[in-house]
Amino acid sequence: MLHLSKRVLAKTQLSALQNVRHQSQHGAARKSGGGGVAAAVIGGTVIGGFGGMLGYASWSDENRKTIDDNIPGMQYITDAVLGSKAPAAAGKPQPKMLVIPPPTIVQPVPPQVKPAPPQDKPEDQTQSPIMKKKIEREKKKEQEATENVKEKSEASITSPLPSTPEPASSSIKSDLASALAASMKEANSGVTAALDAAEKAAAVVQQQAMAIILSVDSGAIEDSVKASVSAAVIAAEEAFRQAQVKVTELATNIASSKSSGKSDASVIDVAEQSISELAPAVVKVKEVVNNAVNTMLNVELMCNALKEARIKLAAEVRDVLPTLTDIDAEKQIQLLLGHAYNRILNLQKQIADKQKVLDEIRSRGSLSDGPGNISEAVLQSELDKLRHQLQLQHRSDLGRQQEELEAEVRGQLKRQAAAHSEHLSDMLEKQEHEITAAWQLKLYDEINKEKDRHFRDVASIRAKLLGMQAAVTARADADRAAHAARSLWLACQALRNTIRLGKEGASSFDDQLQPLQSHLTAISVSAGSDEFVQTVIGSISKEAVERGVCTEEALRHRFDRVYAVARRVALVPENGGSLLRYLLSYLQSVLLIQASASAASDTELLDQPINVHDLNTFDILDKAKVCLASDDMLGCVRWLNQLTGESRRVAQDWKEEARRTLETRQAADALMAHAAATTATAL
Amino acid sequence: MAKTKSEDILGEKWDRCVSDTIVKMGGGLGVGVLFSVLFFKRRSWPIVFGLGSGFGMGYANCQHLFDQPYLVRPERITVTAKSVTESVEGAKEKQ
| Shortest CA distance from A564: residue in chain B | B7
> Which chain A residues are closer than 8 Å to B20 by Cβ?
none
Smallest Cα distance from A546 to chain B, Å: 15
A64 half-sphere exposure, CB direction, 13 A CA radius:
23
Q: Is A559 on the interface with B (CB under 8 A)?
A: no
- Average pLDDT rounded to a whole number, residues A283-291: 81
> Which chain A residues are closer than 8 Å to B5 by Cβ?
558, 653-654
Smallest Cα distance from B60 to chain A, Å: 10
Contact between residue A527 and residue A490 where contact means Cβ atoms under 8 Å apart: no
- Considering only the C-alpha atoms of chain A, give the largest distance between any 2 of them, rounded to a whole number of Å: 238
Contact at CB, B66 and A562, closer than 8 angstroms: no
| CA A490/CA B93 separation, integer angstroms | 43
Q: Confidence band (pLDDT; 50, 70, 90) for A108?
A: very low
Q: Is A561 on the interface with B (CB under 8 A)?
A: yes
| CA A640/CA A559 separation, integer angstroms | 11
> Which chain A residues are closer than 8 Å to B67 by Cβ?
576-578
Cβ neighbours of A127 (radius 10 Å): 11
Contact between residue A524 and residue A533 where contact means Cβ atoms under 8 Å apart: yes
Contact at CB, B67 and A578, closer than 8 angstroms: yes
Contact at CB, B68 and A576, closer than 8 angstroms: yes
- The mean pLDDT value of chain A amounts to 75
Whether residue A101 has pLDDT greater than 60: no
Q: Is B2 on the interface with A (CB under 8 A)?
A: yes
Q: What is the dihedral angle through the alpha carbons of A605, A607, A608, A612, rounded to the nearest 10 degrees?
A: 80
Contact between residue B5 and residue A554 where contact means Cβ atoms under 8 Å apart: no
Partner-chain residue, chosen from B6, B10, B62, that has the shortest CB–CB distance to A653 = B6
Q: Confidence band (pLDDT; 50, 70, 90) for A293?
A: confident
Selected for mutation to probe chain A from B3, B4, B5, B7 (highest A CB count within 10 Å) is: B7
DSSP for A45-74, please give it. HHHHHHHHHHHHHHH-HHHHHHHHHHSTTH
Q: Is B71 on the interface with A (CB under 8 A)?
A: yes
> Which chain B residues are closer than 8 Å to A561 by Cβ?
7
- Is the overall model pTM greater than 0.80, yes or no? no
Q: Confidence band (pLDDT; 50, 70, 90) for A124?
A: very low
Smallest Cα distance from A649 to chain B, Å: 6
- Average pLDDT rounded to a whole number, residues A630-654: 88
Q: Is A566 on the interface with B (CB under 8 A)?
A: yes
What are the angstrom distances between the C-alpha of A191 and each of A133, A275, A628, B68, B88? 19, 11, 185, 200, 179
Question: In the prediction, which pLDDT does A487 show?
Answer: 85
Contacts of A250 (CB under 8 A, 6+ apart): A180, A183, A184, A186, A187, A271, A274, A275, A278
> Which chain A residues are closer than 8 Å to B60 by Cβ?
none
Whether residue A8 has pLDDT greater than 50: no
- Greater confidence, A135 or A365? A365
Q: What is the ipTM of this complex?
A: 0.77
> Which chain B residues are closer than 8 Å to A511 by Cβ?
none
pLDDT lower than 50: segments of chain B: 1
- Alpha helices of A215-264 — where are they, by DSSP H? 223-260
Question: In the prediction, which pLDDT does A262 show?
Answer: 57
Q: Domain ranges in chain B?
A: 9-94
What angle in degrees, to the nearest 10, is found between the helix axes of A579-591 and A552-568? Answer: 110
Contact at CB, B6 and A569, closer than 8 angstroms: no
SS (H, E, C) A642-656: CCCHHHHHHHHHHHH
Question: In the prediction, which pLDDT does A244 show?
Answer: 80
Q: Is A492 on the interface with B (CB under 8 A)?
A: no
Q: Is A577 on the interface with B (CB under 8 A)?
A: yes
Buried b (16+ CB within 10 A) or exposed e, A340-367: beebeeeeeeeeeeeeebbebbeebeee
Q: Confidence band (pLDDT; 50, 70, 90) for A89?
A: very low
Contact at CB, B10 and A646, closer than 8 angstroms: yes
Q: Confidence band (pLDDT; 50, 70, 90) for A264?
A: low
Cβ neighbours of A547 (radius 10 Å): 15
Q: Is A278 on the interface with B (CB under 8 A)?
A: no
Smallest Cα distance from A531 to chain B, Å: 29
Contact at CB, A565 and B7, closer than 8 angstroms: yes
Contact between residue A516 and residue A548 where contact means Cβ atoms under 8 Å apart: yes
pLDDT tens digits for range A220-251: 556 666 777 778 778 877 877 887 887 787 77
Selected for mutation to probe chain A from B1, B6, B64 (highest A CB count within 10 Å) is: B6
Smallest Cα distance from B94 to chain A, Å: 23
Contact at CB, B6 and A650, closer than 8 angstroms: yes
| CA A187/CA A199 separation, integer angstroms | 18
Among residues of chain A, what percentage have pLDDT more than 90? 16
- Average pLDDT rounded to a whole number, residues A431-435: 95
Q: Confidence band (pLDDT; 50, 70, 90) for A456?
A: very high
Contact between residue B7 and residue A565 where contact means Cβ atoms under 8 Å apart: yes
- Average pLDDT rounded to a whole number, residues A204-219: 70
pLDDT tens digits for range A43-83: 777 777 777 777 777 777 777 777 777 777 777 777 777 76
Whether residue A414 has pLDDT greater than 90: yes
Q: Is A569 on the interface with B (CB under 8 A)?
A: yes
Contact between residue A462 and residue A641 where contact means Cβ atoms under 8 Å apart: no
How big is the A-B interface in CB pairs under 8 Å?
Answer: 50
pLDDT tens digits for range A579-592: 888 999 999 989 98
Contact between residue A485 and residue A682 where contact means Cβ atoms under 8 Å apart: yes
Contacts of A219 (CB under 8 A, 6+ apart): A303, A306, A307, A310
Q: Confidence band (pLDDT; 50, 70, 90) for A544?
A: confident
> Which chain B residues are closer than 8 Å to A574 by Cβ?
70
How large is the C-alpha radius of gyration of chain A?
A: 84
pLDDT tens digits for range A612-625: 777 888 888 888 88
Provide the residue type at A348 as one letter.
Q
Contact between residue A576 and residue A630 where contact means Cβ atoms under 8 Å apart: no
pLDDT tens digits for range A140-182: 554 554 454 444 444 444 444 344 444 445 566 567 677 777 7
- Considering only the C-alpha atoms of chain B, give the largest distance between any 2 of them, rounded to a whole number of Å: 75
Contact between residue A604 and residue A632 where contact means Cβ atoms under 8 Å apart: no
Would you say how long chain B is, in residues?
Answer: 95
Question: In the prediction, which pLDDT does A162 show?
Answer: 40
| CA A150/CA A598 separation, integer angstroms | 208
Whether residue A478 has pLDDT greater than 50: yes
- Average pLDDT rounded to a whole number, residues A99-125: 40
pLDDT tens digits for range A20-51: 444 444 444 444 444 566 777 777 777 777 77
pLDDT tens digits for range A482-519: 787 788 888 888 888 888 888 777 777 777 788 888 88
Q: Confidence band (pLDDT; 50, 70, 90) for A595?
A: low
Question: In the prediction, which pLDDT does A371 show?
Answer: 54
Q: 3-state DSSP helix/strand/coil percent for chain A, to nearest 5?
A: 80, 0, 20
Phi/psi at B67 (nearest 5 deg)?
Answer: -85, 125
Contact at CB, B66 and A582, closer than 8 angstroms: yes
Question: In the prediction, which pLDDT does A325 show?
Answer: 58
Strand-pair partners of B67: A576
| Shortest CA distance from A649: residue in chain B | B6
- Greater confidence, A118 or A197? A197
Strand-pair partners of A576: B67
Contact at CB, A649 and B70, closer than 8 angstroms: yes
Q: Quick one: which of A662, A599, A596, A668 has its CA closest to A635? A: A662
Smallest Cα distance from B25 to chain A, Å: 18
Q: Is A578 on the interface with B (CB under 8 A)?
A: yes
> Which chain B residues are closer than 8 Å to A579 by Cβ?
59, 62-63, 66
Instruction: Return the minimum-mean-pLDDT range out of A141-145, A566-570, A626-630.
Output: A141-145
Q: Is B1 on the interface with A (CB under 8 A)?
A: no
